Amino acid sequence: MPHPKRPLTIAQSVAAEIREQILNREIAGGEPLRQDAIAKSFGTSIIPVREALRQLEAEGLVELKARRGAIATELTLDKALEWIHLRRIIETDLIGQAMDRITDDDLAKAEQILGRFDAALDNRREIDHWTEYNWEFHSALYAPANRPETMKILAKLHANCDRYIRLQLLNADHIARAEAEHLELIELCRKRDKRAAKALMHKHTVGVEEDLIEELAR
């Protein structure tokens, strides 16, 4: 029997409303978010507003700056799609290169990281670490390719995509698909099925692009 959903806290309600306004462009990128005005509009104190803004910062939708307060993050779809396109080219090649050298120990390490990542996703916790875990998982699979310069470039692309990937993963359907594809990728690596692994990597990054278009191009 499914458990009933817990009611949202005040901070979660505030975060949900601001999130929707940012994604719908009702709050423009770079626009300041005045805590006192937000608290007044919700009929609450500053404390849950601060908590909500910290949550939105973890999601990449708000930036908290010293002496400037909170501002809405600029979300640029074209730039994100370009970064992910570059990732697709590089990662599809890397997984093929790694396949010839990957070991059971490499796969065990990737599985351990994936377990930690999936737990954080399923429980909607450690949101500010989601892209870090995602990079650790993928880089564990690519490391056997022994392409250190390529990995440096790819690490920068992952860092650039940080807030976009968190935004993409926040949708429950997107999380379920990402988890399933990660597990399938490990199994294909275990079978040393290079062609299928490269095809899945291509599909995986295309899915990220489609999710972001759905979220940002409304």
**What is the residue type of 212?**
L
Alpha-helical (H) ranges within the chain are 10-23, 35-42, 46-58, 77-99, 104-122, 130-142, 148-160, 162-169, 172-190, 194-216
Q: Report CA-CA distances (Å) from 194 to 24, 96, 97, 101, 102.
A: 41, 6, 9, 11, 11
Cα–Cα dist 192/201, whole Å:
14
Region 188-204: mean pLDDT is 97
pLDDT tens, residue by residue, 93-118: 999 999 999 999 999 999 999 999 99
Distance (Å, rounded) from C-alpha 131 to C-alpha 137?
10
The fraction of the chain above a pLDDT of 90, given in percent, is 66
Q: What average pLDDT does the segment 160-181 reach?
A: 85
Provide CB contacts within 8 A for 203, sequence distance 6+: 181
pTM of this prediction? 0.76
Q: What is the topology classification, in CATH, of domain 77-216?
A: Four Helix Bundle (Hemerythrin (Met), subunit A) (1.20.120)
In the chain, where the domains are located: 10-72, 77-216
- Condensed to tens digits (0 to 9), the pLDDT of residues 40-91 reads 999 999 999 999 999 898 777 899 987 778 999 887 889 899 999 999 999 9
- Cα–Cα distance, 92 to 163 (Å, whole number): 22
Q: How many CB atoms lie within 10 A of CB 46?
A: 12
CATH match of 10-72 with 3.40.50.1000: no
The total number of residues written for the chain in this structure: 218
